[in-house]
């Protein structure tokens, strides 16, 4: 199993105080900051652009895990690379050129990830596995925080973990959506090793303790 990583989702933070919210994350033992990029077209909501990520970068040394929920993400690869993104994850549903986009992400100096929505067959991922550093399985429908976990998506996690082992690959498997102390252990058992959590973490006044509670729940 790859290293276990917690990725607080900045989508659930206080947007008016990103510097202090990033400082709160830095105080925890979380490894990533998960940043949801939404364009109002691929998903209904609108969130942050590359300029905001560049501003955040000044306040954090953690890994910036950027999840692009946008149409034609190829258009933004260079902008997010320059903004300081470390990982760029794109939806198979958002582009007709997934292979080329993943290659461009790597060429720009970032790690490349691919993601599918709950309604997308897991087989959409299989042709791309040799190209990626990370596979993200959405465990809610994307676009808004605070949604209920969809347990059926764990079958996809298990399938991807099986393919990874069969192919002798080493990419991370990430889950995003409804991850909390009650669901994280099942995600881990299915094969995930990167866990995005938003509402569950940021609702707590003590973020350090909440991250520790979430990590402890990994083992059931």
What tens digit of pLDDT does each residue of 77-96 get? 999 999 999 999 999 999 99
Indicate which residue of 39, 172, 176, 180 is catalytic: 176
Distance, CA of 70 to CA of 118 (rounded, Å): 17
The more confident residue out of 179 and 148 is 179
Annotated binding site: 9, 34, 36, 67, 143-146, 176-178, 198-199
- Please report the pLDDT score of residue 143 as a whole number: 67
Candidates 142, 121, 212, 140; CA nearest to 179 is 140
Evaluate whether 127 touches 100 at the Cβ level (below 8 Å). no
Cα separation, 106 vs 77, whole angstroms: 10
The number of domains in the chain is 1
Q: What is the pLDDT of residue 142?
A: 75
Residue 220: pLDDT band (50, 70, 90) is: confident
Which position among 36, 39, 65, 133 bears the catalytic label?
Answer: 36
Q: Say which DSSP state 135 is in.
A: E
Q: Residue 161 is encoded by which pair of tokens?
A: 């973990």
Task: Tell me whether residue 21 is exposed, middle or buried, using C-beta atoms within 10 angstroms of its C-beta: 0 to 12, 13 to 18, 19 or more.
Answer: buried
CATH number at residue 11: 3.20.20.70
In this prediction, residue 219 has a pLDDT band, given cuts at 50, 70 and 90, of confident
pLDDT over 70, % of the chain: 97
Q: Which two tokens stand for residue 116?
A: 């599918």
Rounded CA-CA distance 173/195 in Å is: 9
Express each pLDDT in 11-44 by its tens digit. 999 999 999 999 999 999 999 999 999 999 999 8
Active site residue 36: yes
Among residues of the chain, what percentage have pLDDT more than 90? 92
pLDDT above 90 for 2: no
Give 152's contacts (C-beta < 8 A, 6+ positions apart): 118
The confidence score (pLDDT) of residue 144 equals: 64
Mean pLDDT of the chain, nearest integer: 95
Kindly report, residue by residue over 112-163, the tens digit of the pLDDT.
Answer: 999 999 999 999 999 999 999 999 999 998 766 667 899 999 999 999 999 9
Mean pLDDT (whole number) for 92-118:
97
Q: Is the pLDDT of residue 107 over 90?
A: yes
What 8-state DSSP symbol labels residue 39? B
Annotated catalytic residue 65: no
The whole domain housing 28 covers: 5-217
Residues 6+ away with beta carbon under 8 Å from 176: 9, 34, 67, 115, 136, 137, 138, 139, 140, 142, 196
Would you list which residues are annotated within the binding site for substrate?
A: 9, 67, 143-146, 176-178, 198-199
pLDDT band at 1 (very low <50, low <70, confident <90, very high): very low
Q: Do 91 and 117 touch, CB atoms closer than 8 A?
A: yes
In this prediction the pTM is 0.96
The mean pLDDT value for 172-194 works out to: 97
Instruction: Provide the annotated binding site for a divalent metal cation.
Output: 34, 36, 67, 176
């Amino acid at each position: 199993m790859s290293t276990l990583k917690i990725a607080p989702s900045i989508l659930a933070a206080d947007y008016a105080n990103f510097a202090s919210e990033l400082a709160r994350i830095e105080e925890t033992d979380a490894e990533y900051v998960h940043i949801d990029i939404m364009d109002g077209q691929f998903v209904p909501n609108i969130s942050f652009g590359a300029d905001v990520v560049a501003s955040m970068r000044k306040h954090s040394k953690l890994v910036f895990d950027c999840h692009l929920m946008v149409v034609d993400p190829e258009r933004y690869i260079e902008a997010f690379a320059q903004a300081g993104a470390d990982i760029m994850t794109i939806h198979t549903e958002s582009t007709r050129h997934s292979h080329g986009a993943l290659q461009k992400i790597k060429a720009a100096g970032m790690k490349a990830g691919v993601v599918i929505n709950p309604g997308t067959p897991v087989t959409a991922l299989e042709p791309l596995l040799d190209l990626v550093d990370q596979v993200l399985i959405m465990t809610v429908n994307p676009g808004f925080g605070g949604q209920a976990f969809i347990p059926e998506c764990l079958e996809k996690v298990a399938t991807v973990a099986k393919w990874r082992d069969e192919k002798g690959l080493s990419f991370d498997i990430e889950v995003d959506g409804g991850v909390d102390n009650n669901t994280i252990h099942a995600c881990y058992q299915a094969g995930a090793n990167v866990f995005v959590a938003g509402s569950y973490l940021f609702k707590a006044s003590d973020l350090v303790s909440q991250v520790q509670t979430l990590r402890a729940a990994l083992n059931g």
